[in-house]
């Protein structure tokens, strides 16, 4: 193997990437459309996001370049989000977190804003498959949900059939699952309706829950937090039972 040739090739490639940044083609370089596509060492049909982001951080060596790098990164995400390209969104974000390691936030990015973007994306689309599920979980560990949805951390099996079922937490409270679009929470004389997406690759519970008994009203934020926590714990337990029922 000619290591000198490999080193020369890498240097030329890195200089090419930096020239894109100098021309403010940062978003294009991150997204990897032609002529900015660079094949990953692992998957030749995928863009090498980690390489581009590593070079971007090396290039951004002053305040002006840091601001330009952050603007380009943000623009790349906005473009992928507008296309509902969840694969690109999660891969770009996770590649960034891998590259920065434990160095903290290397670019001046607003992750509260990005979290809201992810919430909106996830109400529209999310591809199926174990690979993207793993990448999405890694990203969500760094950017938790902030708005209308509360994603689970347990992955109920896809074979879960939505037949009428009741699941109790002792004699204190229980949930009823009779359809894929909601869960009913029951505690004494209290009944709560929780909108949900239960037939997607990943379970999602919506936070706009309301009491239906003893009278109709929206839940307060504190009540939502308690009920959502309990329901998520029960779903985790239900998922474990299904996992061991084969």
From first to last of its 246 residues, the chain has per-residue pLDDT tens of: 444 434 434 555 688 899 999 999 999 999 998 888 888 776 667 888 999 999 999 999 899 999 999 999 999 999 999 999 999 999 999 999 999 987 766 899 999 899 889 888 877 777 766 677 788 888 888 887 665 554 544 445 444 555 558 888 888 899 998 888 899 999 999 999 999 877 765 667 888 899 999 999 999 988 988 898 888 888 777 766 654 443
Sign, Cα dihedral of 35, 39, 43, 49: negative
pLDDT at 161: 55
pLDDT at 232: 81
pLDDT at 154: 42
| Per-residue tokens: 35 | 């002529």
pTM of the model: 0.62
| Per-residue tokens: 224 | 């939502």
Beta bridge partners of 169: 173
pLDDT at 147: 55
pLDDT at 229: 84
**C-alpha to C-alpha distance for 220 and 218, rounded to whole angstroms:** 7
pLDDT at 157: 45
Where are the domains positioned within the chain?
Answer: 3-147, 165-243
């Amino acid at each position: 193997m000619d290591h000198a040739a490999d080193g020369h090739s890498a240097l030329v490639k890195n200089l090419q990437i930096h020239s894109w940044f100098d021309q403010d083609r940062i978003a294009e370089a991150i997204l990897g459309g032609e002529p900015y596509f660079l094949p990953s060492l692992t998957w030749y049909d995928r863009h090498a996001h980690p390489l581009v982001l590593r070079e971007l951080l090396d290039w951004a060596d002053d305040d002006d370049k840091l601001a330009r790098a952050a603007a380009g990164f943000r623009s790349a995400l906005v473009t992928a989000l507008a296309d509902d390209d969840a694969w690109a969104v999660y891969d770009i974000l996770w590649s960034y977190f891998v590259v920065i390691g434990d160095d903290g936030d290397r670019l001046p990015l607003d992750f509260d804003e990005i979290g809201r973007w992810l919430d909106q994306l996830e109400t529209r689309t999310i591809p199926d498959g174990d690979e993207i599920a793993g990448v999405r979980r890694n990203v969500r560990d760094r950017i938790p949900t902030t708005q209308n949805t509360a994603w689970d951390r347990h992955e109920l099996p896809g074979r879960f059939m939505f037949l009428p079922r009741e699941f109790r937490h002792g004699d204190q409270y229980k949930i009823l699952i009779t359809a894929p679009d909601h869960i009913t929470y029951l505690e004494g004389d209290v009944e709560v309706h929780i909108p949900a997406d239960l037939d997607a690759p990943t379970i999602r519970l919506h936070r706009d829950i309301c009491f239906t008994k003893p009278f109709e009203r929206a839940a307060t934020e504190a009540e939502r937090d308690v009920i959502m926590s309990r329901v998520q714990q029960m779903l985790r337990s239900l998922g474990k039972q299904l996992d061991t029922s084969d």
